[in-house]
Structure 1
Amino acid sequence: MKLIIDSCSDLSLSKAQELGADVLPLTIQIDDKSYLDQFEITSEEVIQAIKDGKRPMTSQPNPDAFEKLFKKYTDQGESVIYIGFSSNLSGTFQSAVIGRDLVLEETPDADITVIDTQSASYGAGLIVERTAEYIAEGDDKETIIKKVKSDLEYIRHLFTVNDLNYLAEGGRLSKGSAFLGGLLNIKPLLHIEEGKLVPVEKHRGIKKVFKRMVELANEEGASGHGHIVHADAEKSANDLKKQLLEKTGLETIDISSIGPTISSHTGDGTIALFYFKDGK
């Protein structure tokens, strides 16, 4: 059984390889040059471009890329599972659907399942990690799909950004939902609801945002493993990790950089926390 993902799960290429997953990258354009997410550009390079006043633009893999990769494995008789970035934030999942259908037109008995995680960044990444575990444990495909869909009901995204208007300008958040707060050091707290970015609260200063994240993690029964990603904000990420380990049921928390595509839309200073609710 072959696991395929896109680069918006924000797993590093080495982590994806460790999990046995093939990665289809999105494309990032800066000025007149295009780069394959993670393969040809790093998060640090994207953030530096933003600091230099440039506006990175992103685009999804085309259906042909998905068709070619799906076919590579179905031609070998393998079953394929694609775990995808939220369809409400990108056309990537739709490209995967079209790519699957192109394979099925030629080979109707090809076994390809595409799953819309309605998640982003390491929210999707945690789903990918669990999917790889289920495959490694030898579960049949029907059982894996059932487990993954259950996991999707419990995944939680909590994050803050420096500027909501940056997200709105990039089309990842409605302009009506973007509220200003920079002059008063107001920090937004957002989550993902039905695959869309939704600002839910605002707090004065990052310390109060982190306090609220910790409170929500406790209220929602977070336990076991969590993950924090950041865009050029490693110190803040470690501060949040320390509080979570001291005050919640989370036992282990990894920290990594937000991937190049996601950071193209969030800008620098973003901090995001991902975990499963209700002890899932």
Structure 2
Amino acid sequence: MILVADSCSDIKSEDLKKRNIEVVRLSITIDDVEYTDQIDITSEEVLQKITEGHRPLTSQVNPDEFESLFRELLERDNEILYIAFSSGLSGTYQSSVIARDVVLEDFPDAKIEILDSLSASYGLGYTVERASDLVNAGESFDNVVTETKEMLTTIRHLFTVSDLDYLAKGGRLSKGSAFLGGLLNIRPLLHVEEGKLVPIEKHRGEKKVLKSMINKVKDEGASGKAYIAHANALDTAEKLKELLLAETKIDEVKIKLIGPTIASHTGNGTVALFYYKQ
């Protein structure tokens, strides 16, 4: 079987190659110039453009691109699993469904499973990596699909951002209007609900919002590995890592830079934590 991810998983290109994961890439437009995610532009470049006052715009993968990919992959294998960027944040998932239905008319015996991850960044990437481990261990197609579906019910995303207004203007924030006033020195805490970013708490200062993250990890009995993704906020990410290792059952933490597409919507100062609840 062939595992497919998109660039919003934030997995680096070299890691995708090592794991034999196929990838479709969203695009980013800045000042009328279009860039392919992770190919033509880096996270650092996107964040610098934002610092300079530019507003990156992102574009979903269209059905024609998916149709071409699926037809190409079916020449190699009859089983394809695509774990998609949240349908609540992009139309990419829907594009893939349209393409799959067209392709299956010509290849009715093929298996093309598409899972809406309702996830973003390393919330998606972590699940893709675990699915890849199952594929590489020789698990059957049906078992990989079943276990991946279960993973997607237990992955957790916690975010804090320095500029909630920037996130809201990008249109990817749900239920955010009540949080937009009086945010001076306030750090909001967000999670993912039905695939959309939703503010859930306000905290005065970084220390308190990180403590709230830690408490939620404890409450859900999380253990093992966690990922932290950040956008020009390495110091805060390192503080969160120290707290996780000192105060929770998490015993491995990997810190990553948020990918170009996701960074286009979060802006600078974002720190996100991803883990599986017990």
Structure-1-length-normalised TM-score = 0.96
- Show structure 1 runs of 4+ deviating over 6 A: none
Deviations 1:191-215 (A, max 9, x none): 0011111100010011111111111
Q: Deviations over 1:131-172 (max 9, x none)?
A: 001111111111111111111111000010111121111110
Gapped runs of 5+ residues in structure 1?
A: none
5 Å-filtered alignment, 1:1-280, equals 1-174=1-174, 176-183=177-184, 185-278=185-278
Identity %: 53
CA distance in structure 2 between the aligned counterparts of 1:180 and 1:160, rounded to whole angstroms? 16
- Following superposition, the deviation at residue 71 of structure 1 comes to 1.1
Q: Distance in 2 between matches of 1:78 and 1:109?
A: 8
Verify the 8 A CA contact 1:19 1:132 in the aligned structure 2: yes
- Please give the alpha-carbon distance, in whole angstroms, between the structure 2 residues aligned to 1:27 and 1:102: 23
The verdict on how the C-alpha distance between 1:63 and 1:177 changes in structure 2, with shifts beyond 3 A counting, is: farther
Pairwise CA distance, 1:180: 3.2
Alignment RMSD, CA only?
1.1
Letter in 2 for 1:234: L
SS for the counterpart of 2:177 is coil
Name the aligned partner's letter for residue 233 of structure 1.
Answer: A
| Amino acid corresponding to residue 55 of structure 2 in structure 1 | R
For residue 76 of structure 1, report the CA deviation from its aligned partner. Answer: 2.6
Separation in structure 2 between the aligned mates of residue 177 and residue 169 of structure 1, nearest angstrom: 14
Whether the 8 Å contact between 2:163 and 2:269 is mirrored in structure 1 is: no
Structure 2 Cα separation of the partners of residues 170 and 227 of structure 1: 24
SS of equivalent residue, structure 1 residue 153: helix
C-alpha contact 2:2 2:77 (8 A) present in aligned 1? no
Q: Which amino acid aligns with 1:176?
A: S
1:123 and 1:17 map into 2 onto residues whose CA distance is: 20
Shift of 1:89: 0.8
- Tell me the matched-pair count: 277
Amino acid at match of 1:68: S
**Which ranges in structure 2 are unaligned for 5 or more consecutive residues?**
none
Please state how far the C-alpha of 1:178 moved relative to its aligned partner.
4.0
Provide the rounded CA distance (Å) in 1 between the counterparts of 2:212 and 2:76: 49
Change (3 A) 1:177 1:113: farther
* d(CA) in 2 for partners of 1:49, 1:221: 39
Once residues 13 and 212 of structure 1 are traced to their aligned partners in structure 2, the CA distance between those partners, rounded to angstroms, is: 33
Q: 1:199 is matched by which residue type in structure 2? A: P
Counterpart secondary structure, 1:146: helix
**Contact 1:168–1:178 (Cα < 8 Å) also in 2:** no
Question: Structure 1: how far apart are the matches of 2:81 and 2:63?
Answer: 16
Q: Output the CA distance in 1 between the equivalents of 2:186 and 2:126.
A: 29
Offset of residue 78 of structure 1: 3.2
Distance 2:77 2:47 in 1: 42
In 2, Cα distance between equivalents of 1:188 and 1:125? 24
User: TM-score w.r.t. structure 2 length?
Assistant: 0.97
